[in-house]
Chain A
Amino acid sequence: MVWKAFSLCKDGNREEENEDAVFPQIVNGSSLTADQFSCAMSDGATQSSFSKLWAGLLVKESSQSHMMHQDINQTVNSARLKWKNALPDNELPWPATIKVKQGSFATLLWFHIWQSNGFSGISSAPRNHGWAANAVGDTCLFQVVKGRFVSSFPLTQATQFSNTPELISTSLTYSRARVNNTTSSGNWNKGDHFLIASDALAQWIITRVENGSLTWPVVSMNLTSLVRYQTWIRSLRRQGQIKNDDTSLICLTVDE
Chain B
Amino acid sequence: MYSAEISRLNPTCFLFLVDHSTSMQNPIMGVPGNPKKSEFAADALNKVIQSLVVSASKDMEIRQYYEIGVIGYGFEVQSALGGDLADRDLVWIDEIYEHPLRIEDRIKKESDGVGGFIEVSTKFPVWVDAVSRGQTPMCQAFNKAYEILQAWVEEHPESYPPTLINVTDGEANDGDVRVPAEQIKSLGTEDGNCTILTVHASSNELSRQIVFPMEDKEMPDHFSRIMFEVSSPLTPRMRETGEELMGVALEEGARGLVYNADIAGIVQALEIGTRPANIQS
Contact = CB atoms under 8 A, between A and B. Distances in A.
Q: Does B associate with A?
A: yes
Interface of A: 10-13, 43, 45-47, 49-50, 52, 88, 92-96, 98-99, 105, 107, 163-165, 167, 199, 243-245
A109 to B, nearest CB: 14
A46 B281 contact: yes
A98 B57 contact: yes
Contacts of B222: none
B62 A47 contact: no
A47 B59 contact: no
A95 B62 contact: yes
B143 interface: no
B204 interface: no
Interface string B121-135: 001010000000000
B57 A163 contact: no
A99 B57 contact: yes
Contacts of A95: 53-54, 56-57, 62, 97
Contacts of A13: 8
B60 A11 contact: no
B281 A49 contact: no
| B interface, size bucket | 20 to 34
B229 interface: no
Contact of B278 (A43, A50, A98, A163): A163
A162 to B, nearest CB: 10
Contacts of B97: 93, 95
Contacts of B118: none
Nearest to A243: B280
A164 B279 CA distance: 11
B262 to A, nearest CB: 26
A244 B4 CA distance: 11
B5 to A, nearest CB: 7
Q: Which of A13, A94, A245 has the most CB of B within 10 A?
A: A94
A86 B227 CA distance: 51
A78 B162 CA distance: 43
A236 B57 CA distance: 29
Given A46-B280, A243-B280, A12 B9 contact: yes
B281 A43 contact: yes
B123 A94 contact: yes
B55 A47 contact: yes
A47 B281 contact: yes
Contacts of B123: 94
A47 B53 contact: no
7 contacts: A47-B55, A95-B57, A96-B57, A98-B54, A99-B54, A165-B281, A245-B280
B280 A49 contact: no
Nearest to B7: A12
A219 to B, nearest CB: 23
B217 interface: no
Contacts of A11: 9
A204 to B, nearest CB: 15
Contact of B60 (A93, A164, A199, A243): A93
Contact of B281 (A52, A94, A98, A105): A105
Q: Which of B56, B59, B62, B97 has the most CB of A within 10 A?
A: B59
A10 B5 CA distance: 12
A14 B259 CA distance: 45
Contacts of A93: 57, 60, 97
